[in-house]
Amino acid sequence: MTAPGTLFGFTEAQIAQFGLTFGIGAFMLYMLFIIAQLAWESKAGRFGTFVLFLGLAFGMVGFVARFGRHENPPQ
């Protein structure tokens, strides 16, 4: 039996940390798949595909930089 205040033996903080690392990472990979499919179906060409992925990459880099900064707060 699990301890009170846990879900399957994990605390809320552990579940949140798992979601923020693996869940967001999986979502980012899924976003890459969506952009690739959009580029393929629209026949965007090499430059158009590059522009689509460039825009997505800037968004992801911004999120990762923000997430990394909050991951290890100053002591």
Amino acid at 7: L
* Mean confidence (pLDDT) of the chain: 81
**Closest C-alpha among 21, 51, 17 to residue 35:** 51
Could you tell me if residue 25 is inside a domain? no
Could you tell me if residue 20 is inside a domain? no
* CA 57-30-54 angle, 5° bins: 15
* CA 31-37-42 angle, 5° bins: 130
Q: Domain range spanning residue 53?
A: 30-70
pLDDT range class, residue 9, cuts 50, 70, 90: confident
Query: Phi and psi of 31, rounded to 5°?
Result: -65, -40
pLDDT in tens, 13-27: 888 888 888 888 888
> Does residue 66 carry a pLDDT above 70?
yes
Could you tell me if residue 8 is inside a domain? no
pTM exceeds 0.85, yes or no: no
pLDDT in tens, 28-40: 889 889 988 988 9
- Number of domain units in the chain: 1
